[in-house]
Chains A and B, each alone.
Chain A
Amino acid sequence: MPVVTEDLQLPVREARAGEPQAWETLLARYRLPLYAYVYELVHDEQTSLDLVQESFINAARHLHSLRQDEKFGSWLFNIAHQKCLQHWRKHHPAEITIDPLDEDFPELEPGPQELLIRKEQEEGFMRLLDQLAVPHRAVLLLHFVEDFSLEEIAGITGAQLGTVKSRLHYARKALRKLLEENEP
C-alpha cells in the first residue's frame, strides 16, 4: 500500500466544475482515510459513515470557496473534524479534554513512514490509540494517516501550533514506550 499518494494531480478544478469523474477520483483517494480518521474518533460505524458522507457533501457545496487547490486534503479533513466536534458536543461533551501547558518540543521526531510496527505490536498499537485522549488521538491520526505537517494539523484541529507539537510529542512518547515494552 502506498504511504501517502501525491496530491498534486488531484482534479480539484474539475471537481469544482462538477465533473463526476473528478469526484470519483477524489472519493477513491480520500474515502477510506477520512472514514478511518472519523471512526477512530467516534467509534461508531454508522455515525462514521454519516459523518464522512456529510463531509463530502459539504466539500462539494463549498469547494468554490477553497482558494488553494493543493490544500484540498487538509480542507476536507478539517470539515470532517468539525463534524466530529459537533457530534461530540451533542453526545459526549465530557470527552473533549483540555491539554496541559503548551510547550515547545524539538522537531526531531521521525516521520510516520519510518515507524514500523511488527505483527505482535499491532494489537497494542491500536489499543494505545484508543486509550489516548481525543485531542491527542486526532493529532496522531492526522500525522500517521495523511502525514500532514504540524501547521496543517493545527489548521485542521483549530489548535495552536505549540499545542499540536505538545500533543504529538506526548502521543509519540507513549507509542515509543509501548513499542519498547514489546521488544523481543
Chain B
Amino acid sequence: MKTPRELILGRHQTAGARLKAIRAEELAACARSAGRATGPRQPAPGLASAVADFWQETFWPWRRAWLGLAALWVCVVAFNLASRETPHTAAARPPQPNPEVFAVLQEQKELLTQLLGLGAPPLVSQPPPRGPRSAAEPAPAKTEGAGSPEPTLRPERVALA
C-alpha cells in the first residue's frame, strides 16, 4: 500500500541523478548577486516602513491603474487651463479699429464739416486740403453793398474761432 505521494515521487526517482545537475553553488551565487543588487533586507523603521508597505501593497499591484488615473488628471488640468486662457487673452487684447469703419467716420466728419459750413468748428484738427473748385460748383454769392467780396473762411480760421 502506498500513498499517492509515494507513488508519484517513486515514478520519478530515476530522474534524481539528472536533477543533480542543478548546482547549489550556482544558485547561491545567483542569490548573492541578486542580494547585492537589491541591498540587504532590513526592516525600515516607522514612517518609512509604512510608506514602503503602502507602496508595495496599495500602489505597486495597481500601478497601471494609478498611472492611468494620473494621466487622466493631467489631461483634465491641461484642458481646464487651456479653456481658461482664451477669455483672458481676449479681454486683455485692445480692440482693433476697423479700417473701413474708420474711413467711413472720416468721410462723415468731412460731410459734417461741409454741412455745418462756417459757424461750426471742424471735428478734425487737420481737415483734408481743399482741391481746386470745379466749374460746376457755384461761386459764392456777393453781398449787396459790400465793396469787396467777403473772403471765404479758411479751415484754420474756423478752428481758431
| B12 part of interface (Cβ distance < 8 Å) | yes
Are A18 and B31 in contact (CB-based, < 8 A)? yes
Interface residues on A, range: 35 or more
Check if A132 is an interface residue, CB within 8 A of chain B. Answer: no
Known contacts being A32-B15, A40-B8, A141-B8, is A115 close to B31, with CB within 8 Å?
Answer: no
Residue pair B24, A39 in contact (C-beta under 8 Å): no
Residues of A within 8 Å of B25, CB to CB, are: 20, 23
Asked if B11 is at the interface of the complex by the 8 Å CB criterion, the answer is yes
Chain B CB within 10 A, most for which of A3, A20, A118, A141: A20
Given contacts A45-B15, A122-B7, contact A23 B21 (CB under 8 A): no
Residue B12 contacts which of A22, A24, A36 (CB distance < 8 angstroms)? A36
Q: Are A52 and B22 in contact (CB-based, < 8 A)?
A: yes
A72 within 8 A of B: no
A139 to B60 alpha-carbon distance, docked (Å): 29
Interface of A is mostly: helix
Question: In the complex, which range does the number of interface residues on chain B fall in?
Answer: 20 to 34
CB < 8 Å: which of B12, B22, B24, B34 contacts A61? Answer: B34
A interface residues (Cβ-Cβ under 8 A, vs B):
1, 3-4, 15-24, 27, 31-33, 35-36, 39-40, 45, 48-49, 52-53, 56-57, 59-64, 112-113, 115-119, 122, 125-126, 129, 141, 144-145, 147
- Say yes or no: B19 contacts A16, CB within 8 Å: no
Q: Please list the residues of chain B having a beta carbon within 8 angstroms of any beta carbon in chain A.
A: 1-13, 15-16, 18-22, 24-32, 34-35, 38, 41
CB neighbours of B6 from chain A (8 A):
1
Report the separation of the CA atoms of residues A147 and B27 in the bound assembly, to the nearest whole angstrom: 26
- Which residues from A are CB-within-8-Å of B16? 31-32
Which one of A16, A23, A39 has the greatest number of beta carbons of chain B within 10 Å? A23
A44 to B16, CA, bound (A): 15
Residue among B4, B22, B30 making CB contact with A144, cutoff 8 Å: B4
